[in-house]
Structure 1
Amino acid sequence: MTTHYIDLTLLPDPEFSHAHLWRALYAKLHRALVQLETSVIGVSFPEYRLRPQTLGQVLRLHGEPTPLEQLMGTDWLKGMRDHVQIAALSPVPAGTQHRVVQRRQFKTSAERLRRRRMQRKDETAEQAAAAIPLSVEQKPNLPYVQLRSSSSAQSFYLWIELGDLQASPSPGGFTAYGLGQAGRGSIPWF
């Protein structure tokens, strides 16, 4: 249950792009959630829009007061404090609806899928191309944060999708990115 929230608002910066600031903030949050080994802090993006695709400027952290205070008591925002305005811990407004904010993954590169298939099935490039046509590529139209995997150093897109509004919360924990999964782990939406 998420009864409280903290808003983090990205401030404009002439030296860094909005995308660069999002990438830095979200990567730091992910590392902090992993380090704390918590699945009780969720995120939302109150300014989320599909047209134009944007997460906006606000990252909202959701949870109970103790885990949120524990997170904010760490030094996870080191290097970002000049770029973020931090609001006070506040209770969620009464009567709010809920929704799951989750990651969506897409097959965006037939070439990458072919290379992976060649490795896993010991196939030639021709066999993999026959098995995976270009038509499998999907063109996502969701807002995203571009991140870098700490384990593989590969860059990837973390596409964010909003579930339907619901009158009551759906139970479940959150991933190390603060996202719900498989329709579970909703946050208050306001």
Structure 2
Amino acid sequence: MNYYQEVTLIDGDKKLYELWSDVYNQIHIALAEAKNKHDINTIGVSFPSYRYEEKGYKVFATLGDKLRVFAQSQKDLETLDLDKWLERLTDYVHVKRINEVGDKAKGHVVIRRYRHKNVLKQAEAFAEHKGITLEAALIHCAKHKQDNKPYPYINLRSISNNQPYALSIIQEMADNETQGSFNSYGINNLADKVTVPHW
């Protein structure tokens, strides 16, 4: 990733979690349009102030107040046109101009969507996979169940059916840079490990 644009959310009249919802809804629509109209699916995002820490029984989880949007070329970011998509939020966000990454990166991160796992759905899938009864699968899954993690999330609303949902975000350091495509949230699906620069 050679170019980036940074968006800072300004906490004030609106709380940060409300701003994330407003901003990310627009980012999601912009990325979907870039993919559908311009065949651009290599724009990724990162959260420079992201933190997720578990200490004992306490968890600290935050996305922070910044978003970086990355692309291979300046043209891709110009096509995305964040200024246009975030125009109605100018009182709440500061969008910097497009810059080169250059030597700023101190490493790379993978950003993925985390989906909370429903035990019944897990058991149904396990029963089908192993060819066992649902009851046996439920017993197995209850015994080996991992707790859902309270990763930082953004409340969004589906454009197709207007249902609310949480976009939970995992951001982790990566050993190596990996290029590829991103989904319409600018992140990886659960199994993918495409990276963006981090500093």
TM-score where L is the length of structure 1: 0.79
1:44 maps to what in 2?
Answer: 46
> C-alpha distance in 1, partners of 2:116/2:82?
36
Contact 2:174 2:195 (8 Å CA) reproduced = no
Moved over 4 A (4+): 128-137
> C-alpha distance in 2, partners of 1:92/1:142?
27
Distance 1:139 1:89, change over 3 A: same
> C-alpha distance in 1, partners of 2:44/2:82?
17
Distance 1:129 1:44, change over 3 A: same
Aligned CA RMSD, in angstroms, stands at: 2.6
Q: Percent identity?
A: 29
Greater strand content: 2
Residue-by-residue CA offset, 1:111-141 (whole Å, 9 max, x unaligned): 8x59xx8xxxxxxxxxx99975895684322
* Residue 147 of structure 1: how far off its partner (Å): 1.0
Aligned pairs (5 A) from 1:68-87: 68-72=77-81, 75-87=84-96
Of the three residues 151, 167, 172, the one matched with 1:163 is 172
Unaligned runs of 5+ in 1: 118-127
Q: What is the DSSP-based 3-state SS (H/G/I as helix, E as strand, rest coil) of the residue aligned with 1:82? A: coil
Q: How many residues align?
A: 174
Unaligned runs of 5+ in 2: 54-59, 125-133
Distance 1:137 1:184, change over 3 A: closer
Residue-by-residue CA offset, 1:52-91 (whole Å, 9 max, x unaligned): 2100000110112111112126621132111101112111
Residue-by-residue CA offset, 1:80-103 (whole Å, 9 max, x unaligned): 111101112111142632121111
1:174 maps to what in 2?
Answer: 182
> C-alpha distance in 2, partners of 1:42/1:164?
15
> C-alpha distance in 1, partners of 2:82/2:198?
25
